[in-house]
Amino acid sequence: MANSSTLKTFLGITEAGPLIVQPVERESLALAVSTLVHTDAGTFRFPVVSADPSAAWTAENAEIAVSEATADEVLVIPRKVAGLSIVSNELANDTSPEAAEVIGNGLARDIAKQIDRAFFGVAPANTNVQPGGLEYLAAAVTTIAADPAAGIGAFIDALAAAEAHGVTLDSFVTDPATAAALAKLTTGSGSNLPLFGVGATNGIERNVLGVPLLVSPSVVAGTAWGIPKASVFSVLRNDVTVDVDKSAYFSKDQTAIRAILRVAFGFVQPAAIIKIKAAA
C-alpha cells in the first residue's frame, strides 16, 4: 500500500491536505454557515461566559459591589470521517492540475455530505463515532412551533427570538421541499408575484428580510434552522491523511484513494440557535 507521498507523485502536488480540505470547505454547507476553526489538538475547548458580572449605579465615595462572571467551557472532540474515491490509473498518473481537482472534488463530495448529515440530520446514536449536530441539541435550542413552509411569519419570530438572546441570525437553512413551498408563495391573493421577489438575473431570491435562506437535503423534513454564525463552530483537525492503494482494484486497472479527516461541532450558545418546526 502506498502513502500520500505516492499521491504527490501522481498529482504533482506538494501537500496532500489541501487536495481534500479546500474542496471540503467549499462543498460543505455546515462549514459555510458556522465559524470554522482549525486545530492540531485532539480536544478543543471553547470558553463560555454563562453569566456576566453585574454593574450597578453607585453613589459617589461608596463601595462598588463586587461581582464575578460565571465561566464554563464547551469541549469539542473531532471525530473521524472518511471518503473513498476510485479512479483509473490513467487519471491517477496524469499529473495535471485538472487531475488533482477531479480526485479532490470526488473525495470532498463524499466527506462533505457526511459532515452535513451530521450537522443538520437526526441525532447520532453514538457521539463517540459521529459528532452531535443541531438535532442533538434537542430542547437546548429555541423552538418556534410553526410550519416553516406556511410563510415568513415564523421566520420573523425567529429573528426576534435571536435578538432576545443578543445575537443576529446570519442564515436560515431548510430542506428542499420547504424551500420549494416558500418559493411558491405569492405576495397576496390573486397575485402571481413571488413573495421572495424575483431578481433580474438570479431568479427567485432566497432570503427572508435580508437573511439568506439556504437549502440542504440533510435537514430533517419540515424544519428550518436560524443560525448565528458567531455562536456555532466547526472544529477541523489538521491531521488530514490521504492514502493510495493500487492493489484493491488491480484487475480493473484502478487506484483507490482514501482520505480521512476529523471534525466536530461546538455550540457555545445553543439557546441562540432557532429551530422552526410545527408541533408534533
CA–CA dist 28, 40 (Å, integer): 21
Q: pTM of the prediction? A: 0.82
Quote the pLDDT of residue 136: 97
68: phi > 0 → left, psi -120 to 50 → alpha, else beta; which? Answer: beta
Quote the pLDDT of residue 52: 67
pLDDT in tens, 45-66: 988 766 667 788 888 888 888 8
Quote the pLDDT of residue 67: 77
CA–CA dist 11, 93 (Å, integer): 7
Quote the pLDDT of residue 197: 54
pLDDT in tens, 163-176: 999 999 999 999 99
Residues of the chain with pLDDT under 70: 1-17, 49-52, 69, 71, 92, 94-100, 187-205
CB-based contact 195:185 (threshold 8 Å): yes
CA distances from 98 to 93, 102, 209 (A): 12, 6, 40
Quote the pLDDT of residue 198: 52
Quote the pLDDT of residue 9: 56
CA–CA dist 79, 236 (Å, integer): 9
Helix or strand holding residue 114 (H, E) = helix 97-120
Quote the pLDDT of residue 227: 98
Beta strands 223-227 and 211-215 are unpaired
Quote the pLDDT of residue 30: 97
| Domain range summary for the chain, segments of one domain joined by + | 4-49+69-138+146-268
Contacts of 76 (CB under 8 A, 6+ apart): 43, 44, 45, 46, 131, 233, 235, 264, 265, 266
- Reference 241, options 224, 223, 257, 219; nearest CA is 257
Beta strands 171-174 and 211-215 are parallel
The CATH number of the structural domain formed by 4-49+69-138+146-268 is 3.30.2400.10
